[in-house]
Chains A and B, each alone.
Chain A
Amino acid sequence: MKSIRLIKPYFFEKRFLIFFGLVCLIVVDFLQLFIPRIIKWAVDDITAFRVDATRLSYYALYIVGIAVLIALFRYGWRRCLIGTSRRVEEGLRNRLFAHIQTLSPSFFDKVKTGDIMAHATNDIQHIRMATGMGMVALTDSIVLGSAAIGFMAYINIRLTLFVLIPMPMIIFGTRFFSKKMHRLYQEVQGTFSDLTEVTRERFAGIRIIKAYNREKDERIRLEKISKDYINSNLRLVRITGSFFPMMLLFSNISLAIVLYLGGRQTIGLTITPGDFVAFISYLGLLTWPMMAMGWVTNLLQRGRASLDRIDKILQIKPEIDDCSGAEHVKLVYGDIVFENVTFSYGHDKEPVLAGIDIKLDKGKVLGIVGAPGTGKTTFANLIPRLFDVTGGRITLDEKDIRNILLKDLRAQISFMPQEPFLFAGTIRENILFGNKEADEKELVKAVKEASLYSTIKSFSDGFETIIGEKGVVLSGGQKQRIALARALLRDSPILILDDPVSQVDMETGSAIINTIKSLAGIKTVIIVSHRLSAVQFADQIIVLDSGRIIESGTHEELMKNDRYYAKTFRLQEIEEELNAY
């Protein structure tokens, strides 16, 4: 129960509300118990003809008065207690979100997005249920249950004891059944996801199904899995379907006991007819707390399990974080040095980069080329510390980048990732993402530099064009240029571009390259590219193969070298010619 501390702050924040809510709840419980008392008095008086119309109207007014009070207090506890659970939900979810944002990319490589989503929704909902209805039901069953028993015992202890016989059965029955239900429910969920998977696979492979005339067989396959699904549903229903009638049966058995023993006692004048009627009313009040007892334990257990799961995530420390004594850096000059850098994605994995030594002075341009999977993107990712080097070190202005505050380090870098990630929102929002303070002039300038201005102007909504989730309405090249404009809008001494022209046509590509050229001398630029014309002008070009630098030099030097670079360059020349075909 260590994880309970997660919800403590919210309980503390709302402690007065919770206190007030609990008071209301207890008041409601006791008021509820009074109504059967009044009914008892009325019935006794009527039996004995001891009452007149005025007296009866008093009884009626008492009941109405109590009912009004109950309604008010009930409103009070619902507002306070259930409201608090909503606050817990909000707070926990905020906290989870904030935490998730601090975790390093490597965490997300290991964990499925769906799992995190499940935490954010299902688990937090379970916790809300446990803290809201769970708390209410717990208090309710304890207070209402024991008070109802008390009142009954006050009327007649012997009868009370007999009436209580089926009650333990209700509690244990509920617990037993809800455990079973939980298991069966999971089974249903399991078959449901099988059903989903089979359906998904069929629709994803529809061409093969059609090409191979498999429609009939697949229909039979689905029929089978659908049958499994309904069968597991029916197994669940067998339990739920017998559970509620059985609970009803138990409480009706109590009623039968009252009828038999209470009836005899009334005849024998041990209790009055009013007592008898009141007993029946109390029994009605008692059934719910008894059923709730079983239900509430499950609710709380589930809530606790969920809380533990959330806690587990919150306990994960970001792999990449400020180390102690990390320095505050305002503005760097821009000299980058890789010293014998090695990197691998895990202890037992092959190194992705090995023995990298590079010195890049401020204002110089470094081009990185190589076949897919040779470590180019990894190289770029190491500088803003998306991952940390496994061996060696990277320095910025002669400082190990691990000794610079992460926030400050990243503020020095404009980065354009290979996958241009866009958020749902307008084009303007997506570009301003790079620099919120930028004014309209700077925005237009960055967009023009990214060769995007005329494209945006051609949209009827211009900058306010809403792009769907992940930018589905845009072409690959447009997305790429938005990401580029985003990076260009940030005025930082280091610019890293991971394959900036892969999805744009030749003409746009050369315009973008010209922009980058114009930044040379002002910023330290690193360009990763498959298209060699994009790095042709660089001060230094390195060719990576299996994580090692196999060639290094200027364009002219590498062409003379006549190896991978020169070969690829000539090929791409022919290709470009073909494109014009």
Chain B
Amino acid sequence: MRTDFGYFEEKQLGKPYDIKMLRRLYPFTRPYRLFFILSIFLVIIITFLDLSLPYITKIAIDRYIVPKLESDNFKDVRGREDKVRFLEADITDPEIKAIVNKYSDQFKISGSFALISFDDLSGLDKEDLSILRKDDLAGVSLITAIFIGLILLNFVLNFLQVMLMEYTGQKIMHDLRVRLFAHIQDLSVAFFSRNPVGRLVTRVTNDTQNMHELFTSVISFVFKDIFLLFGIMFVLITINWKLALISFVVFPFVLYASLYFSSRARDVFRVLRIKVAEINTKFSETIAGIKVVQLFLREKDNYRDFARLNHENYQAGMKQVQIFAIFMPVVELLGTVTIAVVIFHGGGQALAGSISLGALVAFISYMKMFFRPIRDMAEKYNIMQNAMASAERIFLIFDNKDRLPQPRVERGYKLPAIDNIDEIEMEDVSFSYIPDEPVLNRISFKIIAGETIAVVGRTGSGKTTLINLIIRFYDPTSGRILINEKDIKNYEKSILRSKIALVMQDPFLFSGTIRENIGQGNSNISEKEMEYILEASNCNGFINRLPDGIDTVVSEGGASISSGERQLISIARAFARNPGLIILDEATSYIDSETEQKIQEAVSNLMKSRASIIIAHRLTTARNADRIIVINKGRIIETGTHVELMTQRGFYFKLNQLQG
């Protein structure tokens, strides 16, 4: 059930994955080496315990329940010459001696022992029999006590081992997940525009989870089951190597069958996963396009397509049923055949006296134990394949080093700091996302502290791209951006960004309280400062209306906060940062003009001695700026104050008319 994570991209799951991947995993397991060693140590003990249980039964049978002494040297009292199993009684014990004397005609005295044929025991009185065999009875009690002790120990150790293994596996996954998250987070914005969020999330969540399966299932398989298999083989050989070797004759067949079936099962398993993914796609596609399906009366055809897919899934499912319907019985059959071999051959040896009855029984028990892990092999192989596929996808991301270059730090040289942003200059900046499709073309302008610049232009003219370059989400294809006369590439990214507050077109808020969203980790904002920020950003009005005020939780689909209010919060967030440069990227599009006017005032108040860039859709927003830059198709086509541009009667003038 838990292996069902992430059936996206199932189609890629085709090639066999190799052990190289495991080598890359090794560094993650290193901190937990001790746990691993301890866990393996426990596995070994558990295997011994598992192996010892049938052996104890063997001892109980051989030593106490069915005495093994048998002989044809003695002629039995009745003169039979067949092989007879005898019970040996120690007549130095007075109690036993009394019994022997009572049934003296059935015993044969030999030194300090009396022998009685096993068949003749039934002639004895029950009481007498239990006295005669009191040592055996005591032995059975003792061995049962040992047995119970061992099974309790086995229980405890098993539990400890599972917990330890799981703990280690989870810890490793946690480390891997956090590392992966941090790695992805540090990748450039360009990487994020290439990779859908859903895919990246799958890497951090489902794929790491799949790898966890590798630890718990596969590692426990490798150690536990393989230890067990070899352990059983070893014990069987020590009990009776000839019988052991004869019963091993079946093993190659078992091995061949398992390998053959697990590869077949894997193929079918893969087909099944693809079919399920296709069925899901069809379902979601139909739901999304239900109107079109119904309007064009395509229900029947669509159903036929679906039924065909579904039937293919059924057929793949039946193939799986078929494979398991052959595999499972075949393995069982081989197992039972082995038991038949043991009975035939071992029985013969038991008759010849070269093996005890207990050993024979133990052999049968071990044989049954032997086939269990083999049956699970196919399933474990699948899990392993799945985990390897996930591992590959994860390491593919780790291999991605798509980051913007950080300035090189030389010894004894400190990276420049920014105390105040005095001026920002774009120097002949060009940029293209795709080669030869320039989005910005030789842009140059300069802003000095205290100035407000408005950037105006139609949708897609390159305004947002301009911002992306200043905050260094991307680096220009050519040209330079200078802050305080230094190329921004020379500043550390975090220092650069700490001086800039960006309010984006789409007000992205994190789930959490409004306070957390405004504070952004900066918890030492005083109540008074916060009061001021809320006032300036016009948040006060709606926050006071919320029952929990500033501690209201903003959540996905939480309809209590409108788009406009979200924008106000993101403006407050920018104010809280106390930046050297504030950038409002169409930050007021959902806000009515009156409120916008107030925010404008607040911005100019707040930014009195600092720089600000305002990108506006609504031209009234731009009107008050110190300078207006008009961009069209990536080029600056006009620049000047509102009055200047209006008298020019160019593009800006026309835009103004349009919005009249």
Partners in one complex: yes
Which residue numbers of A lie inside 8 Å of B, CB to CB?
Answer: 35, 38-39, 42-43, 46-49, 51-53, 56-57, 59-61, 63-64, 66-68, 70-72, 74-75, 78-79, 82-83, 86-87, 89-90, 93-94, 97-98, 100-103, 105, 108, 113, 116-117, 120-121, 192, 195-197, 199-215, 217-219, 222-223, 226-227, 230, 233-234, 237-238, 240-242, 244-246, 248-249, 252-253, 255-256, 259-260, 263-264, 266-269, 273, 276-277, 280-281, 284, 381, 384, 386, 407, 410-411, 413, 415, 417, 421, 423-424, 433-434, 436, 469-470, 486, 490, 571, 574-575, 577-578, 581
B307: Cβ under 8 A from any A Cβ: yes
Of the candidates B280, B324, B341, the one whose C-beta lies within 8 Å of that of A60 is B341
Mask for B365-378, Cβ within 8 A of A = 1, else 0? 10010000000000
A101 proximity list for chain B (CB < 8 A): 286, 290, 293-294, 299, 302-303
Query: Would B85 and A264 count as touching, CB distance under 8 A?
Result: no
A203 with B144, Cβ < 8 A, contacts A75-B325, A192-B205, A269-B129 known = no
B332 to chain A, nearest CB (A): 7
Within the complex, which residue of B140, B159, B318, B657 is in contact with A267, where a contact is CB–CB below 8 Å?
A: B140
Would B294 and A97 count as touching, CB distance under 8 A? no
Given the contacts A63-B340, A101-B302, A203-B201, A264 and B137 also touching, CB distance less than 8 Å:
yes
Q: Is the CB of B178 within 8 A of A267?
A: no
State whether the Cβ of B231 lies closer than 8 Å to any Cβ in chain A: no
Question: Is B44 among interface residues, defined by CB-CB distance under 8 A?
Answer: no
Chain B residues with CB under 8 A of A577: 654
Given contacts A86-B318, A117-B283, whether A269 and B508 have CB atoms under 8 Å apart is: no
A201 to B294, CA, bound (A): 35
Contact of A46 among B154, B201, B360 (CB under 8 A): B360
Q: Are A97 and B303 in contact (CB under 8 A)?
A: yes
In the complex the two chains form, is A47's CB within 8 Å of B511's CB?
Answer: no
Least Cβ–Cβ distance between B466 and chain A, in angstroms = 15
Tell yes or no: B74 within 8 A of A by CB. no
CB of A443 to closest CB in B, whole Å: 15
Q: Given A43-B361, A94-B306, A260-B144, decide whether A233 and B170 contact each other with a Cβ distance below 8 A.
A: yes
Asked if B298 contacts A386 (CB within 8 A), the reply is no
As a 0/1 sequence over residues 286 to 315 of chain B, the CB contacts with chain A under 8 angstroms (1 = contact) are: 111111111111110111001100110110
Contact size range, B: 35 or more
A residues within 8 A CB of B177?
Answer: 222, 226
Give the residues in chain A near B155, CB-CB below 8 Å. 245-246, 248-249
Q: Say if the beta carbon of B53 comes within 8 Å of chain A.
A: yes
- Complex contact B333–A71 (CB within 8 A): yes
- B343, B348, B364 — which one has the most chain A CB atoms within 10 A of its CB? B343
CB distance from B11 to the nearest CB of A (A): 13
CB distance from B65 to the nearest CB of A (A): 5
Neighbour of B178 across the interface among A105, A214, A222, A574, CB < 8 A: A222
Give every chain B residue within 8 A of A74 (Cβ-Cβ): 325, 328-329, 332
Can you offer 5 A-B residue contacts whose CB atoms are under 8 A?
Answer: A48-B118, A49-B351, A90-B311, A259-B57, A470-B288
Most buried by B among A120, A210, A578: A210
CA–CA, A56 to B143, complex, Å?
31
Q: Main SS of chain B's interface residues?
A: helix
CA of A415 to CA of B192, assembled, Å? 37
Complex Cα–Cα for A63 and B365 (A): 16
Chain B 188-232 residues near chain A, CB threshold 8 A: 189, 192, 197-198, 200-201, 204-205, 209
Contact B340 A61 (CB under 8 A): yes
Which 9 pairs from chain A and chain B are nearest by CB? Answer: A67-B336, A60-B344, A78-B325, A241-B162, A245-B158, A71-B329, A63-B340, A260-B144, A263-B140
Question: Does chain A have a CB within 8 A of B64?
Answer: yes
A493 to B20, CA, bound (A): 66
Chain B residues lying within 8 Å of A571, measured Cβ to Cβ, are 658, 660
Judge whether A266 and B66 touch: CB under 8 Å: yes
| Interface contact tally, CB-CB below 8 A | 378
Given A101-B302, A227-B174, A578-B658, A116 and B283 contact (CB-CB distance below 8 Å): yes
Contact of B336 with A64 in the complex, beta carbons under 8 Å: yes
A305 to chain B, nearest CB (A): 15
- Which residues on A sit within 8 Å (CB–CB) of B647? none
Within 8 A of A (CB), among B550-582: 556, 573, 577
Q: Are B318 and A83 in contact (CB under 8 A)?
A: yes
Whether A89 lies near B314 (C-beta < 8 A) is: yes
Q: Which residue of A lies closest to B83 (CB)?
A: A49
Chain A residue nearest in CB terms to B292:
A421
Q: Which of B340, B365, B504 contacts A67 (CB 8 A)?
A: B340
- CA–CA, A263 to B85, complex, Å? 18
Contact B497 A213 (CB under 8 A): yes
Question: B189 to A267, Cβ gap below 8 A?
Answer: no
Apart from the given pairs A219-B181, A263-B143, A267-B64, 16 other A-B contacts in the complex at a CB distance below 8 Å: A56-B344, A63-B340, A67-B336, A67-B340, A93-B279, A101-B286, A101-B303, A202-B185, A248-B151, A249-B154, A252-B154, A259-B56, A267-B130, A386-B294, A469-B281, A575-B658
Is B330 among interface residues, defined by CB-CB distance under 8 A? yes
The minimal Cβ–Cβ distance linking B122 to chain A, given in whole angstroms, is 5
Note all chain B residues with C-beta closer than 8 A to A66.
Answer: 336
Determine whether the beta carbon of A51 is less than 8 Å from that of B351. Answer: yes
Q: Are A434 and B296 in contact (CB under 8 A)?
A: yes
The answer to whether A248 and B343 have CB atoms under 8 Å apart is no
Interface residues, chain B, with chain A CB atoms under 8 Å away = 53, 56-57, 60-61, 64-66, 70, 82-85, 118-119, 121-122, 126, 129-130, 133, 136-137, 140-141, 143-144, 147-148, 151-152, 154-155, 158-159, 162-163, 166-167, 170-171, 173-174, 177-178, 181-182, 184-186, 189, 192, 197-198, 200-201, 204-205, 209, 276, 279-281, 283-299, 301-303, 306-307, 310-311, 313-314, 317-318, 321-322, 324-326, 328-330, 332-333, 336-337, 339-341, 343-344, 347-348, 350-351, 357, 360-361, 364-365, 368, 458, 471, 473, 494, 497-498, 500-502, 504, 508, 510-511, 520-521, 556, 573, 577, 632, 651, 654-655, 657-658, 660
* Cβ contact within 8 Å between B174 and A226: yes
Complex CA gap A200/B203 in Å reads 11
Q: Which single member of A244, A277, A415, A421 contacts B289 (CB below 8 Å)?
A: A421
Contact across chains for B348 and A53 when beta carbons are under 8 A apart: yes
Are A415 and B159 closer than 8 Å at their CB atoms? Answer: no
Contacts of A67 in B (CB 8 A): 332-333, 336-337, 340
Residues of B within 8 A of A72 (CB): 329
Q: Which residue of A lies closest to B282 (CB)?
A: A97
The docked-state distance in angstroms from the alpha carbon of A546 to that of B333 is 77
Q: Give Cα A100 to B340, complex, Å.
A: 56
Which of chain B's residues have a CB closer than 8 A to the CB of A56?
Answer: 343-344, 347-348, 351
| Chain B, residue nearest A233 (CB) | B170
Supposing A68-B333, A436-B301 touch, asked if A249 and B281 sit within 8 A by C-beta, the answer is: no
C-alpha spacing A82/B322, complex, angstroms:
9
Beta-carbon contact of A48 and B85 below 8 Å: yes
Among candidates B288, B295, B311, B511, residue contacting A384 with C-beta atoms closer than 8 Å: B295
Separation in Å of the A474 CB from the closest CB of chain B? 15
How far apart are A34's CB and chain B's nearest CB, in angstroms? 11
Whether A201 lies near B129 (C-beta < 8 A) is no
CA distance A207 to B57 in the complex (A): 68
Chain B residues whose C-beta falls within 8 Å of the C-beta of A204 in the assembled complex: 197, 508
B residues in contact with A207, CB < 8 Å: 189, 473, 502, 504, 508
How distant is the Cα of A302 from the Cα of B541 in the complex, in angstroms? 51
- Chain B residue nearest in CB terms to A84: B321
**CB distance B658 to A71 under 8 Å?**
no
Closest to B185 in A: A215
* Cβ–Cβ contact A46 & B65, under 8 A: no
Question: Which chain A residues lie closer than 8 Å to B158 at the CB level?
Answer: 241, 244-245, 248
Q: Once the chains are docked, how many angstroms separate the CA of A244 from the CA of B224? A: 15
User: With A and B bound together, what is the CA distance between A252 and B520 in angstroms?
Assistant: 59
In the complex, chain B residues whose CB is within 8 Å of the CB of A281? 364
Interface centre among A61, A70, A255, A424 (most CB of B within 10 A): A255
- Chain A residues within 8 Å of B364, by CB: 39, 277, 281
Q: A78-B328, A410-B295, A410-B297 are in contact. Are A70 and B162 (CB under 8 A)?
A: no
